[in-house]
C-alpha cells in the first residue's frame, strides 16, 4: 500500500498489508470512533473554559504489535518481495513453490480485526489510569480527577486540558504502556481539519485548505468558466399558487456506467466537506445521494453544478466562539416537497448562551458555528404542513439528546 501522509515524519510511505478480502474472520470487527460532532463540541468546550488549551497526540504504528487471539496464515509470492529484502533477511531458504508461507501472530495493516484489537487494548490502558469513557458517546473520555478531556479518532487524540502537567500525564501513560507518541501543542490539525485558535478572544476557525483543489484534480474536473454561486438547483416560486408540490419523477435518460461511478465518488468527496465545514452543500448532497441508485442526466448535471460551486468557493471557514455551552436547535420542515408525497425535515444545532427569552422584546440568541446540521426525508407521510412542522422537532430532539449528554459529560 502506497500513501502520501504529509503530517507524518515519513510522508511518503510503502506499507505491506494483508488482503482483507481473503481473511474469513468470524468475530466482531467493528471499531467505534468519535464523530465529527463530538470533536466540534470539544472545540467549543476548549474556548469556553477559562485557561483551557487544545493539543493533539498521535500513536505511531497503532495497528501493529497487538497480539491476535487467533493466528492467520498468508502466502507471499517471491515476485512481490524486492531482492534487497530477500537478501537482507536471508529468505531464499524459506521459499517453497515460488512463495513464502508465514504465520501472522500480531496485528497488521488491513487485517479486519486489527483496528478493534488495537482500540480495545488502548481503551483498557486508559481506563486503568482513571480515564472514564462515555456510555453513549463513542471514544469520548474524561479523567476522574484531572481537568483532562479527550476525543479518540482511531489513533489520534484531540485533548482539552487546563495546565500542561495534566496533558503530560496522558503522554507519560501512553509512553509507559509501550506506545510511540508524537504530539502537537498547537493543536492546529485534527480530523483532517485545520484549526486556528484564538484563546484571548475565545474563537476557533475551522477550515480544510487545499481539500477541494486536490479532490477536483483527482476527478479531473475543470474549473467553471463562469462562477457558480448556488450548489443546487432551486425550483422557481410560482406566485399566486396556493400549493406547490414536488415534481414528478425525472424523465431524462440515465447516464452511462462511468458517469454513475463518478457521481458516487463525488458524493463521498462532498460528504466529508459538508459535515466538517461547508453546510451549504447539504441540499445538493442529499439529492445526489437519494438519486444515485437511479441516476439520470439531470442527476449528472446536478453533480457538475455542485463541483462547479466547490471550485468557485473552495476554502470555506467556520468560526466557533465561546458561549455558555447551551444546546440550541433551529428546526424546520417542508411539506410534500419530495416525490412520492414525502416531506423533509431540517435542523441546525449550535451552542449558545443562556439568555432570557421570556420577553418578546428580548434580543435573539447570538448564532454560533454549527456542531451538527442535517436534512432528511421523513419516513411517514405527513397529513398537513402543521404535522410536518411538529414531526421535525421530534426528530431533532432525538439527535439533541445525544449531543446534550456529550456536553454534560
Q: Is the pLDDT confidence value at 123 over 60?
A: yes
Label residue 253 by pLDDT band (50, 70, 90). low
For 213-216, the CB contacts below 8 A with 24+ separation are 213/314, 215/269, 215/310, 216/307, 216/310, 216/311
In this structure, what C-alpha cell is assigned to residue 355? 439568555
Q: pLDDT tens across 11-26, in order?
A: 676 777 777 777 777 7
Give the pLDDT confidence score for residue 265 in this predicted structure: 66
In this structure, what C-alpha cell is assigned to residue 257? 456506467
Average pLDDT over residues 53-70: 85
In this structure, what C-alpha cell is assigned to residue 227? 462562477
In 281-325, where do the E strands start and end?
317-321
> In a 10 Å sphere around its CB, with 0-12 CB exposed, 13-18 middle and 19+ buried, how is residue 343 labelled?
buried
pLDDT, greater one: 131 or 154 = 131
Q: Which is nearest to 156 in space by CA: 201, 207, 104, 192? A: 192
Task: List helix spans (H) across 49-178.
Answer: 83-88, 114-128, 164-176
Label residue 202 by pLDDT band (50, 70, 90). very high
Label residue 40 by pLDDT band (50, 70, 90). very high
Question: How many other CB atoms are there within 10 angstroms of residue 76's CB atom?
Answer: 15
CATH pick for 28-63+113-207 out of 2.40.160, 3.30.310, 2.60.40, 3.30.70? 3.30.70
Give the pLDDT confidence score for residue 254 in this predicted structure: 62
Cα gap 153→173, rounded to integer Å: 18
- Domain residue limits, the chain: 28-63+113-207, 67-106, 211-312, 323-408
Pick the most confident of 11-25, 234-248, 374-388: 374-388
Label residue 343 by pLDDT band (50, 70, 90). confident
Give the pLDDT confidence score for residue 149 in this predicted structure: 92
Q: Mean pLDDT score of the chain, rounded to an integer?
A: 83
Q: pLDDT tens across 272-316, in order?
A: 777 788 888 887 777 777 766 666 777 777 788 888 888 888 888
Give the pLDDT confidence score for residue 336 in this predicted structure: 79
Taking 3-state DSSP, the helix, strand and coil percentages for the chain, each rounded to the nearest 5, stand at 35, 25, 40
To the nearest 10°, report the CA torsion of 226, 227, 233, 236: -80
**Radius of gyration of the CA atoms of the chain, in A:** 25
Rounded alpha-carbon distances, angstroms, from residue 39 to 25, 141, 266, 336: 32, 12, 24, 35
Q: What's the predicted TM-score (pTM) here?
A: 0.84
> In a 10 Å sphere around its CB, with 0-12 CB exposed, 13-18 middle and 19+ buried, how is residue 347 labelled?
buried
Amino acid at each position: 500500500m502506497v500513501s502520501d501522509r504529509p503530517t507524518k515524519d515519513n510522508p511518503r510511505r510503502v506499507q505491506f498489508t494483508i488482503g482483507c478480502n481473503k481473511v474469513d474472520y468470524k468475530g466482531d470487527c467493528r471499531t467505534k470512533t468519535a464523530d465529527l460532532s463530538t470533536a466540534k463540541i470539544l472545540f467549543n468546550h476548549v474556548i469556553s473554559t477559562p485557561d483551557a488549551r487544545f493539543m493533539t497526540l498521535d500513536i505511531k504504528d497503532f495497528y501493529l504489535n497487538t497480539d491476535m487471539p487467533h493466528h492467520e496464515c498468508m502466502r507471499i509470492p517471491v515476485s512481490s518481495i524486492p531482492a534487497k529484502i530477500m537478501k537482507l533477511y536471508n529468505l531464499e531458504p524459506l521459499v517453497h513453490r515460488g512463495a513464502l508461507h508465514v504465520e501472522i501472530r500480531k496485528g497488521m495493516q488491513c487485517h479486519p480485526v486489527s483496528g478493534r484489537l488495537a482500540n480495545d487494548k488502548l481503551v483498557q490502558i486508559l481506563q486503568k489510569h482513571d480515564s472514564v469513557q462515555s456510555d453513549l458517546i463513542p471514544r469520548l473520555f474524561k479523567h476522574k480527577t484531572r481537568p483532562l478531556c479527550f476525543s479518540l479518532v482511531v489513533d489520534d487524540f484531540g485533548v482539552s486540558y487546563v495546565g500542561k502537567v495534566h496533558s503530560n500525564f496522558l503522554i507519560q501513560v501512553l509512553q509507559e504502556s509501550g506506545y510511540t507518541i508524537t504530539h502537537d501543542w498547537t493543536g492546529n490539525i485534527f480530523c483532517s481539519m485545520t484549526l486556528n485558535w484564538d484563546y484571548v478572544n475565545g474563537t476557533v476557525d475551522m477550515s480544510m485548505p487545499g481539500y477541494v483543489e486536490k479532490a477536483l484534480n483527482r476527478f479531473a474536473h475543470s474549473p467553471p468558466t463562469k462562477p457558480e454561486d448556488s450548489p443546487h438547483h432551486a425550483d422557481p416560486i410560482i406566485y399566486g399558487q396556493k400549493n406547490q408540490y414536488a415534481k414528478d419523477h425525472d424523465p431524462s435518460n440515465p447516464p452511462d456506467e462511468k458517469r454513475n461511478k463518478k457521481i458516487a465518488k463525488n458524493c463521498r468527496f462532498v460528504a466529508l466537506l459538508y459535515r466538517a465545514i461547508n453546510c451549504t452543500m447539504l441540499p445538493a448532497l442529499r439529492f445526489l445521494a437519494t438519486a444515485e441508485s437511479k441516476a439520470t442526466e439531470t442527476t449528472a448535471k446536478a453533480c457538475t453544478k455542485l463541483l462547479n460551486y466547490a471550485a468557485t468557493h473552495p476554502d470555506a471557514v467556520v468560526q466557533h466562539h465561546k458561549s455558555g455551552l447551551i444546546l440550541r436547535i433551529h428546526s424546520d420542515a417542508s411539506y410534500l416537497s419530495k416525490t412520492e408525497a414525502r416531506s423533509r425535515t431540517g435542523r441546525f444545532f449550535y451552542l449558545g448562551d443562556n439568555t432570557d427569552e421570556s420577553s418578546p422584546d428580548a434580543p435573539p440568541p447570538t448564532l454560533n458555528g454549527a456542531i451538527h446540521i442535517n436534512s432528511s426525508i421523513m419516513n411517514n407521510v405527513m397529513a398537513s404542513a402543521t404535522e410536518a412542522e411538529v414531526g421535525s422537532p421530534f426528530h431533532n430532539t432525538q439527535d439533541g439528546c445525544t449531543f446534550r449528554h456529550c456536553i454534560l459529560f
